[in-house]
Every structure is written in structure tokens, then in C-alpha cells.
Amino acid sequence: MNIKQLGRVSFHTIAFVMYLAAIVKFSQVGPMPHRKPHEEYAGRWKYLTYWNLWIQLLYFGFSLYIDFKKASSLNYMKLTHFRDKMYASIALPYGLFVFAVFWILYSINREYIYPQVLDSIFPVWLNHVSHTLIAPMLVIETWLLRHNHPKRKAGLSLTVLFGAVYITWVLYLALVMDVWVYPILPKS
């Protein structure tokens, strides 16, 4: 293993462990004090941030798996193609989306996205792993590894499909379960 490969393996290991620790910590956090009991429906799975943590965990875990595969192995090209498609279509765009939207809304009025009451529940490191470190981790990944992006139509279709699934989920929660995921969304 050369120094470049060692750097990539080290980075993927750090990212995987970081996202795993965040997901474990999320699972240990109790109910949200600013929510009514019926609003706890779907737990953390109603938040795009939580979906994104899982996406990043799966992406970096899969990348770490590929790091240890031999380039000459039979499935290596299929695996790298899948990894690159996952990165370009879901991990990168939604990771940057979570980062940008969270911090823009937070800077306008934090109550829209991360009410102050959550400061006593979520450790600062968890907030930053979930909303800040995503962007630099993706930038470093882009720098460390040359990704072969899928054809525009295929990549964009996957990006839009993922977004449509999440929006459908949010609308289901709001209109059927009367659970408004984010305080910025109307409650009429």
C-alpha cells in the first residue's frame, strides 16, 4: 500500500467512524422537549440530517470496503461505478444541501431549524458532525479520489428520485400524521 492509498484508507476510516459515532449518539438521545408526544412519530427518520448521516456512513463504509479490494478483482469496476454514482448523485449533493440549508436558516433564525432548547440535548460535536463537517469531508473526498460521474440523465434522475422520496415522506408526515418536521414549515 503506497502513501496515497494509506491516506485514502485513513480518511475513509476516520469518516466512517465519525458518522457511526454520530448515529450511535443520535440513538441515545431521548424525545425532543419542544415536541408534542404525537410529533415523535418516526423519530430521527423524519429529518434529512439523519438520512444524510446514514448516506455518508454508507458511502464512506462502502469506499473503505473498496479500498481493500484488489483492483484486479472481478467486481472491482462494478463496485467503483456504484460508489461513484452514489457519491455524485446522493452523497455529494445532499451532503452539501444539508450543510448549506442548515447554516443559512440557522443564521437567519435558528428557531427555524435548530431551536435553542436542543443545545441542552445534543452535544456541540454532534451538531457539527451533522451539519458542518459534511462539507469539508466531501471536499477532501473529492480531492483524494477521482470519481467518474454518471451520465447527466442517470445521475440527475437518482438525485431527483431521492429528493422526491424525502419530500413525499415529509408531506405524508405533515398531511396524514399532523407532524410538521421543521419549525419553519407552516402548521395551519
Does 9 fall in a domain?
yes
111 falls within a domain: yes
Out of 105-109, 146-150, 166-170, which region has the weakest mean confidence (pLDDT)?
A: 146-150
**Which range marks the domain in which residue 122 is found?**
3-30+38-177
Count CB neighbours of 57 within 10 A: 19
Domain annotation covers residue 183 = no
Please check whether residue 96 lies inside any domain of the structure.
yes
Contact yes or no for 126/45 (Cβ under 8 A) = no
Side-chain-side CA neighbours of 120 within 13 Å: the count stands at 6
> Rounded CA gap, 172 and 168, in Å?
6
H helices then E strands: how many in the chain?
7, 0
Model-level pTM?
A: 0.91
**Lookup: cell for 38:** 404525537
> Is 182 within the bounds of a domain?
no
pLDDT in tens, 84-109: 999 999 999 999 999 999 999 999 99
Taking a C-beta distance cutoff of 8 angstroms, is the pair 53, 21 a contact? no
Per-residue pLDDT, 66:
94
CA distance 37 to 32: 9
Q: Confidence band (pLDDT; 50, 70, 90) for 182?
A: confident
Find, among 129, 121, 114, the residue nearest to 184 by Cα: 114
Q: Would 184 be classed as within a structural domain?
A: no
188 falls within a domain: no
| Residue 25 parent element (H or E) | helix 3-28
- Decide: residue 97, CB within 10 A, 0-12 exposed, 13-18 middle, 19+ buried: middle
Per the structure, how many domains does the chain have? 1
Q: How far apart are CA 167 and CA 159, in angstroms?
A: 12
Q: 142 in a domain, yes or no? A: yes
